[in-house]
Structure 1
Amino acid sequence: MTGTEPGSAAHVLELVAAGTARSRADLVRELGLAASTVSARVQELVDAGLLTESGEGASRGGRRPRLLRVPDGGTVALAADLGSHHIRTGAVGLTGTGYDIDECAFDLTAGPEPAVGLLAERLTALAARQRAAGRAVCGVGVGFPGPVDPASGRIIAPSRMPGWHLYELRDRLADRTGLPVLVDNDANVLALGEHRATHPDLRHLVVVKAGRGIGSGVISHGRLYRGARGCAGDISHVRMDAAAERPCSCGNIGCLETVASGAAIAAALRERGIGAESTTDILRLVEDGEPHATTLVRQAGRHIGAVLGVVVNFFNPQAVVLGGALSAAEPLVAAVRGVLYERCLPMATSELSIVAASRGPDAGLLGAGHAALRELATEGGLPVLPAARR
């Protein structure tokens, strides 16, 4: 049994942390397991210091239940959200609280060894600060801006990143930090972060990351859906007529990324003699009312919406959440919304929420930490807090 399977200790911890269950009786109803099995899972978590049980809740006809709570600040996962040109790190608690969040500029295209060296150095220092604050560190969660094999933690053929193909990021980083490491695609951890923090009551979501590149993560039945090999939700290389014969970094032509990514928009602006090197530059131009930038961003939104229209009709999610740096551009969000309402079945959009992500640059970081925390009940066992050892 893995730590994320229904009924596992990690699943119990997740239900309590999200507020879905507040007592053992709630867990029995939610999981459909025997009360004795639920009690064993709860006791395991209480003994490890990951849950507390105190106070009394409302009675449903019998004895008033004791309330379960996740003690904030006891156990944390270290988290890193990597972008093509930055490394963002922090620690994430069981209730979703972030600690010591920091970001530095770094070019991942320089190759894996310099990046892993810097990342290991920052994570090691971060771990020391957490322990000094009395927090137990259970491991590391990393979001990487490219395809990841979740089983091996290796990077698979990332666009525009020479030297990273088949790089064993999970194992190399674990060796350098001395901690267990979980690695996933950055859009997947963004989806986890937004779902956990903002939409925990929804069961089916598509979360798009629109920044320098484009990706998306899928939440199905309340859980991250990776597909057979971990590439579910990769919309960036869907071919579309508007992209014509434009060559893509993946080796194909006419991919969505060639006309709708931040990199594509910046390149188109430079062709017009307008200085734009990053998504920050694009957003500044849109805020200043620069007409070419506004038009290109709106067109990008329509292209993304055209691809998402197929996804919405096929998957029928409750919400489409637009994240990443470009989601701060209202013309892009409005264009995506307009195309989805125009092209999707009325039944698919009648109750569909189409919104910008709410957690900003921290969403991916929080999702990476949450992903690591969900692995607490794997073979490595549950970390015991200092208070629980006494």
Structure 2
Amino acid sequence: MTDISRTDQDRHITALGSSVASDLFQILRDGRPRTRTELSAMTGLARSTVALRIDALMKLGLVGPVGDAVSTGGRPSSQFAIAASGRVVLGVDVGASHVRIAVSDLTGRIQAETSERIRVAEGPEAVLTWVSGAAHDLLDQLGRAPADLLAIGIGLPGPVEHSSGRPINPPIMPGWDRFDVPGWFRGTFDAPVLVDNDVNIMALGERELSWPEVDHLIFVKVATGIGSGVISGGILQRGAQGTAGDIGHVHVARGADVPCQCGNRGCLEALASGPALGRELRDLAGATGMSGMAPESSQDVVELVKGGNITAIQAVRQAGRDIGEVLTTCVSLINPSVIVIGGSLAQAGEHLIAGVREIVYTRSMPLATEHLQITQSKAGADAAVLGACMLAIHHALSPSNIEEMVIGAPTAAKV
């Protein structure tokens, strides 16, 4: 294997796992056009074999010609690259009170999207029925057939058994426990359905949009609940039962007597989530007789902060310190390059992040924080739906799936 092919192999690592550089499509996924001769030299395959495989990938709509290479004498050689718009995927972001879906090309570029105010508590049939109808509408809008859909990625606001796509005891999702989400779509779309926790897909989306070269990243969502998505070594970490990154239920000494909805006391989520801060501010207003401060949601707390309410600012800053206390342990265990703070409470801006930085930079080992960036999400509200698209793309374009499509293509018997 030449040096250039080794470079490509190193480059082709996604947040869901590693791929194989000797597969032509995986090489072309970097978007750089190459000739058959270049691909032959990089893979060691005969030029005739490369030509057959390129033809099969073109028939699948995955690869296309992009012009001619510079000629060194004689007829210019044709170049080929991934056909980003040849096929599409669907990304679905299911929140506590909203659903947003998008159709993207194979690079993650959004082509069409729509959203609806639907409470996840209405149950899986109501939510997924809307998703199915809206997905068909988006495909029609783009002039696409359902057969053009390679995969569907879905993020849910609760624990998910990723291997089966079933939610497991989700606290704010009545009727969803162990519901077969992929099975529900089976009669509607002939495409694989990937389901994951919403924070995991937000980590994928944030990395794709803002930190594509970063292989060690923690995305922290601070909203109704608190959780994190962990990317280590370029790979999304789910853990044995899919609960990796569940920092919301790590004990914080300051809140030892504060009950949490999980049944324990002193959980980070019971101290620093949006509802927790809302309760704290309401109680404080009642005890001191302050008026005009009765926040119910994370957004209400953010509005108080943006309005310059000193009490709310101090509460958010302390929430940042509490989150920082838990993240200090994460820094020692995982040694990330970047910690991204997202979710609705992150809209409070630097007040929350300043509290996180204050603790993490003070208590972590200097070597671990020398180049550590702690920053607000750049993807913002787009992180989840973009991450859902990337979840689908990484699965659909994995080496094993591409090989299956090539082998299954009618004209690919000899490839």
Q: TM-score range by the shorter chain?
A: 0.7 to 0.9
| C-alpha distance in 2 between matches for 1:112 and 1:299 | 37
| C-alpha distance in 2 between matches for 1:76 and 1:10 | 24
Residue 80 of structure 2 corresponds to residue 71 of structure 1:
no
Q: 1:174 to 1:275 in 2, by over 3 A?
A: farther
TM-score (norm 1): 0.84
State the SS of the aligned residue for 1:266: helix
Residue of structure 2 in register with 1:354 after alignment: 374
1:162 to 153, 174, 181: 174
2:163 to 151, 167, 188: 151
Considering only aligned residues, what root-mean-square deviation do their CA atoms show, in Å? Answer: 3.5
Q: 1:370 to 1:65 in 2, by over 3 A?
A: farther
Give the AA of the match of 2:333. F
State the SS of the aligned residue for 2:196: strand
Instruction: Please identify, of 357-366 and 267-276, the stretch whose mean Cα deviation from structure 2 is larger.
Output: 267-276
Q: 1:27, CA displacement in angstroms?
A: 8.5
Residue of structure 1 in register with 2:100 after alignment: 88
Q: 1:326, CA displacement in angstroms?
A: 1.8
Residue of structure 2 in register with 1:341 after alignment: 361
Q: 1:159, CA displacement in angstroms?
A: 2.1
| C-alpha distance in 1 between matches for 2:360 and 2:95 | 28
Q: 1:26 to 1:193 in 2, by over 3 A?
A: farther
C-alpha contact (below 8 Å) 2:252/2:266 kept by paired residues: yes
| C-alpha distance in 2 between matches for 1:8 and 1:125 | 36
Q: 1:177 to 1:347 in 2, by over 3 A?
A: same
Q: 1:319 to 1:10 in 2, by over 3 A?
A: farther
Give the AA of the match of 2:301. I
Gaps of 5+ in 2: 1-13, 287-292
Residue of structure 2 in register with 1:297 after alignment: 316
| C-alpha distance in 2 between matches for 1:353 and 1:41 | 43
Residue of structure 2 in register with 1:324 after alignment: 343
Aligned residues: 376
| C-alpha distance in 1 between matches for 2:363 and 2:249 | 20
Residue 311 of structure 2 corresponds to residue 309 of structure 1:
no
TM-score (norm 2): 0.80
Give the AA of the match of 1:110. E
| C-alpha distance in 1 between matches for 2:143 and 2:212 | 30
Q: 1:58, CA displacement in angstroms?
A: 9.6
C-alpha contact (below 8 Å) 1:78/1:126 kept by paired residues: no
Residue 45 of structure 2 corresponds to residue 36 of structure 1:
yes
C-alpha contact (below 8 Å) 2:21/2:27 kept by paired residues: no
Give the AA of the match of 1:335. G
C-alpha contact (below 8 Å) 1:148/1:154 kept by paired residues: yes
Question: CA deviation digits over 1:96-155, x for unaligned, max 9?
Answer: 211322222222123333222322332232233334499922221111111100111010
Residue of structure 1 in register with 2:224 after alignment: 212
The structure with the larger Rg is: 2
Give the AA of the match of 1:310. T
Question: CA deviation digits over 1:236-271, x for unaligned, max 9?
Answer: 111111221222222222211111111212232333
> Relative contact order: is structure 1 or structure 2 higher (C-alpha 8 Å, sep ≥ 6)?
1
Instruction: Please identify, of 169-178 and 189-198, the stretch whose mean Cα deviation from structure 2 is larger.
Output: 169-178
| C-alpha distance in 1 between matches for 2:221 and 2:70 | 41
Q: 1:164, CA displacement in angstroms?
A: 2.2
1:256-271 paired onto structure 2 within 5 Å: 256-271=268-283
Instruction: Please identify, of 130-139 and 94-103, the stretch whose mean Cα deviation from structure 2 is larger.
Output: 130-139
| C-alpha distance in 2 between matches for 1:355 and 1:27 | 40
Residue of structure 2 in register with 1:250 after alignment: 262
Q: 1:56 to 1:292 in 2, by over 3 A?
A: farther
Give the AA of the match of 1:307. V
| C-alpha distance in 2 between matches for 1:221 and 1:253 | 33
Q: 1:290 to 1:231 in 2, by over 3 A?
A: same
State the SS of the aligned residue for 2:142: helix
Identity %: 37
| C-alpha distance in 1 between matches for 2:246 and 2:186 | 27
State the SS of the aligned residue for 2:130: helix
Q: 1:157, CA displacement in angstroms?
A: 1.3
| C-alpha distance in 1 between matches for 2:316 and 2:27 | 39
C-alpha contact (below 8 Å) 1:74/1:134 kept by paired residues: no
Q: 1:14, CA displacement in angstroms?
A: 6.7
Instruction: Please identify, of 345-354 and 7-16, the stretch whose mean Cα deviation from structure 2 is larger.
Output: 7-16
1:284 to 291, 303, 328: 303
